[in-house]
Amino acid sequence: GTQVDLSFSVYEQDALSKTLAALNADDMEIAPDGSFELILGGPKVEGNWMPLQKGVKRILVRQIHSDWTTELPGDIHIDRIDKARPAYPDLSSADMAEKLRGVTDTFATNVQRWPEYSRTRFDALIPVNSLTKPRDVSSTGGLAGRVMVGGHFYLQDDEALLIKAFPTKAKYQAIQLGHHWWESLDYANRQSSLTADQAVLSSDGAYYFILTKNDPGYSNWLDTEGFMRGVLFMRYDGLPGNSMAESLNPSAQLVKFDDLASLLPQDEPIVSSDQRQGILAQRRAHVQKRFNF
């Protein structure tokens, strides 16, 4: 594919559990035609290999897209290569019952787990409408060069959260919104996320992201999809040295919607309703290509 980055992560249980291994495409052997083979588990082999410890439940593949007008996902195929038993054994009634129980157990757990995680890790520890300091996730097993910033918002209809951020040397830089069940907001039909390639840089050298329910007419609006409460993340991937200068740390400010014009640079880029619809059409087209629908 032509995505800006590709990585693989192995988790003990799910995305909230410990990261057991991580591998970025920059550290892999890639053929001239862009193809590669990655072996997961078994004895260590030369080339692209990742361990699979006992109890591993999830392998996450991230294909990261920054320019949604040009970048396309790559094809990834998974094959079982051990000969211990048939690769596709017949399912017995007991097997099927176990899988169905697993689905229902996962659903029941997640309905409670994610909101509780939001309450204990975000609401209780991070002041509302503010941002955490950048965190190097490699210290907990994540990919080297990945730095994350988090926060949560609570907005009335006449309020906006104004986030000021700066360009960095990261390979990929983006901001996205989600709700308290930790699902991304609609990023195909709404502008609920922006990458460095999609966002418009202001004349003073900063990005101004505007989180609000109603479209303020500025390029870097982030649509809260009508949610008063939600979570937000800023991701920096491929950041040299796993850190950035403190002067580049993003900041957040709760403001009144009607005061935005006085708080932004006078020449802050604006978009018309027709232009916004064109931008959203581009987003939909990319997502359709990404997921083949």
Could you tell me if 226 and 135 are in contact, meaning their C-beta atoms sit under 8 angstroms apart?
Answer: no
Residue 15 has pLDDT above 70, yes or no: no
Q: What is the pLDDT of residue 56?
A: 84
The model scores a pTM over 0.85:
yes
What percent of the chain has pLDDT above 90? 75
Could you tell me if 160 and 260 are in contact, meaning their C-beta atoms sit under 8 angstroms apart?
Answer: yes
Q: What is the pLDDT of residues 71-121, one digit of tens each?
A: 999 999 998 887 666 667 788 999 999 999 989 998 888 888 888 989 998
CATH fold for the domain made of 130-291? Jelly Rolls (2.60.120)
Q: What is the pLDDT of residue 87?
A: 64
The ranges of the chain annotated as CATH 2.60.120.1600 are 130-291
Q: What is the pLDDT of residue 242?
A: 81
Q: What's the rounded mean pLDDT across residues 6-23?
A: 82
Residue 285 has pLDDT above 70, yes or no: yes
Across 82-86, 151-155, 289-293, least confident range: 82-86
- The torsion region of residue 292 among left (phi > 0), alpha (psi -120 to 50) and beta comes to left
Q: What is the pLDDT of residue 17?
A: 67
Q: What is the pLDDT of residue 116?
A: 92
Measured CA distances, 96 to 93, 99, 185 (Å): 5, 5, 33
Across 1-15, 35-49, 179-193, 249-263, least confident range: 1-15
Residue 144 has pLDDT above 70, yes or no: yes
Q: Facing residues of 146 across strands?
A: none
At 38, the pLDDT band (50, 70, 90 cuts) reads very high
At 239, the pLDDT band (50, 70, 90 cuts) reads very high
Place of tokens 């931008």: 279
- Quote the CA–CA distance of 197 and 35 in Å, as a whole number: 26
- Quote the CA–CA distance of 235 and 150 in Å, as a whole number: 9
